[in-house]
Structure 1
Amino acid sequence: MAQARRSRAHMIEETRAKLIATARSAFAEHGFANTSMDDFTAAVGLTRGALHHHFGNKEGLLIAVIEEIETEVNEHLRRVSAAAPNRWEGFRQRCRTYLQLALEPEIRRIILQDARAVFGDVPAAAQSLGVAELQAALDQLLADGVIAALPTPVMARMIYGAVTEASCWIAEPDAELNERLHQALDALERLLDGLRVTGEHP
């Protein structure tokens, strides 16, 4: 009986993973609005009922794809931070890298265009993860005396909002991506410099 339950759980997880992986590829190539769920489910050998069972609807599937990508993005940003020579540079590179990721086709299409068009913003769960990571970094910088005393919960939200809005601006359809990225990175440096204790150096 236990083996049967494990096998069923494995099948459920396998079906869910297959739907997310295939949707991720389709949304990145065609966009959310242009992806047909009937064609999509048939392509992976599943029924539309399987989609509704696991995600409720097409929007629910998009949320699952967004959360998977955002988790990967945060893992990448952690590695970037960890590779930096000090905590301030790690924080700075984390923010800069987030902006640079706006040039990645999959992130540009799914996170910065489709999520905004369908939901008005990135889903709350993905936002919470990004804000929490920023707040943890700010708390450590504050404890180290690198940044001036400030309420880190609100500052983390403000920085998250700033880099997210800038990323969406960079990723707008028909935008000059590299020029917008350059402008956004310059503005980010000015913003982050304002956090530091006067005379503090990495």
Structure 2
Amino acid sequence: MYVNKKYTYALYLCQQYGSISAMPRRRPEEAEQTRRTILRIAGQMCAQSGYDQLSLEDVATAASVTRGAVYHHFENKKGLFLEIVRSELDAMGAQILAAAEVAPTRWDALVAGCREFLRKSQQRGYQQLILTDAPAVLGIATWNELDYRYTTRSLVEILQELKSDNAIAVSDPEASAEALSGAMNQLSRWVAAGGSEDSAIGTLLMLLDSFRR
């Protein structure tokens, strides 16, 4: 039987306060803080044990909120997981950008960003959330869309700039970015499975050098 979780939460509030209008009003910043807390704790749980083991009841308990509050902010378990993935990819994108911004040239920025990805993506959370669970739970089409939005698009932009500078010999920066992104994801999986990080970085650098004139 289908159960409307938001309706159930509204019914719970009515039982507690007599009516929804009588319930204490929370400031927007308090609601946002609750949402961030739920997201952070759920992300930690999912990174540790995987999506299949994630329980919204456990999330609510760990976040010191009701299960209804979890459903107030996130439609369901999959919706919560989607936001976890977005948050993780956004953090990865920010770390890559920070590494690239201090590089002296565009080429050095590309190399620094790629190396930072390979290093940071070895963290258990990224491996579990992004490279293992996300494609299976969200579907490969959604995963590809998110991967492009948060990481591959930056590769496209810098390769386009390098092509404009006549610094690389690629005919299609977008195709090259997709190939590079796929190679880095696979190298990350390989290292996580026991491969040599030094060998992975060496292979990555050879791949990048093949783009140069």
> Per the alignment, do residues 136 and 25 of structure 1 end up closer, same or farther by CA in structure 2, a change over 3 Å counting?
same
Report the Cα offset of residue 120 of structure 1.
4.7
Q: Residue 84 of structure 2 corresponds to which residue in structure 1? A: 65
Q: Residue 3 of structure 1 corresponds to which residue in structure 2? A: none
Is 2:211 the counterpart of 1:176? no
Q: Residue 154 of structure 1 corresponds to which residue in structure 2? A: 175
Query: Aligned residues: percent identity?
Result: 29
Q: Deviations over 1:21-44 (max 9, x none)?
A: 111121222222222221221221
> Per the alignment, do residues 115 and 149 of structure 1 end up closer, same or farther by CA in structure 2, a change over 3 Å counting?
closer
Q: Deviations over 1:84-117 (max 9, x none)?
A: 2221111012112211223222222222222234
Is 2:126 the counterpart of 1:110? no
Moved over 4 A (4+): none
Paired residues, number = 187
**3-state secondary structure, aligned to 1:56:** coil
Q: Residue 37 of structure 1 corresponds to which residue in structure 2? A: 56
CA distance in 2, matches of 1:104, 1:32: 17
Q: Residue 192 of structure 1 corresponds to which residue in structure 2? A: 208
CA distance in 1, matches of 2:149, 2:202: 26
Q: 1:98 aligns with which of 107, 117, 127?
A: 117
Q: Residue 134 of structure 1 corresponds to which residue in structure 2? A: 155
Deviates more, 1:31-40 or 1:86-95: 31-40
Deviates more, 1:6-15 or 1:101-110: 6-15
**3-state secondary structure, aligned to 2:121:** helix
> Per the alignment, do residues 8 and 186 of structure 1 end up closer, same or farther by CA in structure 2, a change over 3 Å counting?
same
Q: Residue 167 of structure 1 corresponds to which residue in structure 2? A: 188
Q: Residue 56 of structure 1 corresponds to which residue in structure 2? A: 75
CA distance in 2, matches of 1:126, 1:55: 22
Note if contact 1:37-1:48 (Cα within 8 Å) is conserved in structure 2: yes
**3-state secondary structure, aligned to 1:103:** coil
CA distance in 1, matches of 2:76, 2:185: 26
CA distance in 2, matches of 1:168, 1:147: 27
CA distance in 2, matches of 1:8, 1:152: 46
Note if contact 2:100-2:110 (Cα within 8 Å) is conserved in structure 1: yes
Report the Cα offset of residue 147 of structure 1.
0.5
CA distance in 2, matches of 1:40, 1:54: 13
> Per the alignment, do residues 159 and 123 of structure 1 end up closer, same or farther by CA in structure 2, a change over 3 Å counting?
closer
Q: Deviations over 1:145-190 (max 9, x none)?
A: 210152222222222222123223333xxx215x2x3332222222
Structure 1: runs of 5 or more not aligned: 1-5, 198-202
Q: Deviations over 1:16-70 (max 9, x none)?
A: 1111011112122222222222122122122333333322221211111111111
CA distance in 1, matches of 2:52, 2:170: 45
